[in-house]
Amino acid sequence: MPDSGRPRAETATETLTGSQVVVRALIEQGVEVIFGYPGGAVLPLYDEIFKQNAIRHILVRHEQAAVHAAEGYARSTGKVGVVLVTSGPGATNTVTGLTDALMDSVPVVCLTGQVPTHMIGNDAFQEADTVGITRPCTKHNYLVKRPEDLAQVLHEAFHVARSGRPGPVVVDLPKNILMGQAPYRTAREARLSRYRPRRDPDPDRIEQALDLMVEAERPIFYVGGGLINSGPVACELLTEFVRATGFPITLTLMGLGAYPASDPQFLGMLGMHGTYEANMAMYDCDVMIAIGARFDDRVTGRLDGFSPRSRRIHVDIDPSSINKNVPVDVAIVADAERALAAFLEGWRRRAHRIDPRRIEGWWEQIRQWRAVDSLGFRQEGEVIKPQYAIRRLHEHVRDLDPIVTTDVGQHQMWAAQHFPIEKPRRWLTSGGLGTMGYGFPAAIGAQIAHPDRLVINITGDASWVMMMQEMSTAIQYRLPVKIFMLNNRWMGMVRQWQDLFHGSRRAESYMDALPDFVKLAEAFGAKGIRVEKASGLDAAIEEMLAHPGPVLTEVVIDPFENVYPMIPGGAAHNEIILSPADKRDEGPLSEEGMVLV
């Protein structure tokens, strides 16, 4: 910050306005970009942002999109994403995004405006109980009531958002706090000691885990998004360790990219729409090494049928994720990077005593499962199969190291299955909350962070419409995001469940009136492409990639294609359905299963 020659600019006694304190704290925290939307309560802060050039503000068209964009920024960079919105509706519109960030452990700091402290509780214009509303959907939140707390709160907010299991933090800023005088404190002067999650693994537990691993005959690594959050070094250590052991590995939806998808030891994604080999290996394994994954219901299927004969090792930085759904034998609370470094060191120490032949039979079994080719599909004629569309897209962009975002539904699963991700921070999807509308603003956030990279939003017609106003944002900032929309005119996943569980009664899952997406794109000032025939797909993809600005490519697909394989709700991994022909009257489609979401 420019200073009028005062010698001790950074001391705790220096007094600024509240807004100046906020901007200075953001700069000190390394913030380069804010995603936001102005309004009455935050005008003093916008005024301060206007007067400086260190932080760039990206104006979205809806506050939910601001949070998703911050998530996309955070997950593609590893930095904290920052959001700024006004009070009342500005704050309430962030709730979906904040919940999404909480479920998927994304570091976000969301600054919300608030009415002046003396008006709080009076039902003032654009007043909402923001800390009350966001308490259950944030990792932590603050209402700043005293100017002297402001700098401390902001520094702690960033510390909490990025430490341990990352998550969203809300700081509610009453307008009089922003306008009044407030002292500045540097990050070094801030007190951060009350939140200090454990990062180093217990060495005894590491040894116990290694004891299980060296004896294992049917081992498997089950790895989740915690690895991506731990960072690229953790992912490198994982790859090194998995290769040193020779064990197979499966990744969760959130973990894709933590291990190279093209590696022969990778069995594909597991869970409800995971591969046959990954799910069968989870069912039959004798030692499971779970790292940065949380045994969620989309992964485990029916709990009493989950991996019945395995001993389990679980590494997680959040103690509350351990023994939550599935009891484990060796619990290790630690940062994945440090646990993996310890594993690798211990494994090498023991290497001379380990017999690699003991897992040969296991790999033979896995080869047989793989031969089933559970992701197989047939592209015949001119009707485009969604799987084919995703694979062709991948063929065209594989050497460009793209960042891929998705929305939620069938297209998301097809993308997870058919678009191999080789490196971390290239795959941004809404896993825990399943937020339709996540993908496009997340792509905008990722493109802001990586202006020269290819960013693709693989989406569906229903999802994209939920956040389509953000095309205006993409145009304003000249963000060349490529939207690859699989249009089947259905809420495809809803219809798939209606077909499976509700006698094919397709209640309200069909969109009777969709816009002309080409004209819609053009109305925003973007480029629109429609492709309806398989023979035109390659040309359409090339045209999309060649255009320098944002493009909406509408791929009209086979409207009745469903996602397979599938473990229906309430079924176990070994009850996986491979194709529609596999659907039985008896079997995994149970009454109990229907109750599950």
Partner 1 sequence: MRNASQQERRHTICVLVDNEPGVLARVIGLFSGRGYNIESLTVSEVDHVNRLSRINIVTTGTEQVIEQIKALLARLVPVHRVQDLTVEGPAVERELALVKVLGDRERLVQALRIADFMHARLVDSTPGGLIFEMTGSSDDIDAFIALVEPVEVSRAGVVAIGRGGVVLEPPPDVVATQTKGEGR
Sites of contact with partner 1 (CB under 8 A): 131-132, 135-136, 139-141, 143, 145, 156, 160, 164-165, 191, 193-195, 197, 318-320, 322-324, 327-329, 331
Q: Are 415 and 375 in contact (CB under 8 A)?
A: no
Q: Are 283 and 268 in contact (CB under 8 A)?
A: no
Query: Which H, E and C letters describe 199-214, residue by residue?
Result: CCCCHHHHHHHHHHHH
Min separation Cβ 177 and partner 1, Å: 14
Cα end-to-end span (Å), the chain? 51
Using CA atoms, how far apart are residues 369 and 363, in angstroms rounded to an integer?
Answer: 10
Catalytic site residue 63? yes
Nearest CB to partner 1, comparing residues 69 and 328: 328
Nearest CB to partner 1, comparing residues 331 and 389: 331
Min separation Cβ 150 and partner 1, Å: 14
Using CA atoms, how far apart are residues 479 and 527, in angstroms rounded to an integer?
Answer: 12
Closest among 115, 62, 111, 116 to 88, alpha carbons compared: 115
Nearest CB to partner 1, comparing residues 197 and 232: 197
Based on C-alpha coordinates, what's the Rg of the chain?
Answer: 25
Q: Which residues pair with 462 in a beta bridge?
A: none
Closest among 232, 243, 240, 182 to 15, alpha carbons compared: 182
Per DSSP, 481 falls in state P
Nearest CB to partner 1, comparing residues 326 and 366: 326
Min separation Cβ 140 and partner 1, Å: 4
The active-site residue out of 125, 217, 360, 368 is 125
The active-site residue out of 280, 436, 471, 493 is 493
Min separation Cβ 193 and partner 1, Å: 5
Min separation Cβ 120 and partner 1, Å: 11
φ and ψ at 74, to 5 degrees?
-65, -45
The active-site residue out of 63, 127, 277, 554 is 63
Nearest CB to partner 1, comparing residues 216 and 540: 216
Min separation Cβ 203 and partner 1, Å: 20
Catalytic site residue 175? yes
Nearest CB to partner 1, comparing residues 149 and 538: 149
Angle 113-117-121 from CA coordinates, rounded to 5°: 95
Dihedral over Cα of 498, 503, 509, 510: its sign: positive
Nearest CB to partner 1, comparing residues 32 and 129: 129
Closest among 515, 78, 103, 490 to 318, alpha carbons compared: 103
Catalytic site residue 522? no
Catalytic site residue 527? no
Q: Where do runs of H (alpha helix) occur along 180-253? A: 203-215, 226-230, 232-245
Min separation Cβ 216 and partner 1, Å: 17
CA distances from 110 to 34, 83, 360 (A): 9, 4, 51
The active-site residue out of 139, 175, 385, 482 is 175
Q: Which residues have C-beta within 8 Å of that of residue 399, sequence separation ≥ 6?
A: none
Using CA atoms, how far apart are residues 197 and 190, in angstroms rounded to an integer?
Answer: 17
Dihedral over Cα of 456, 457, 461, 467: its sign: negative
User: Judging by DSSP bridges, how do beta strands 403-406 and 33-36 pair with one another?
Assistant: unpaired
Min separation Cβ 204 and partner 1, Å: 16
Nearest CB to partner 1, comparing residues 165 and 298: 165
Which residues are catalytically annotated?
A: 63, 125-126, 175, 493
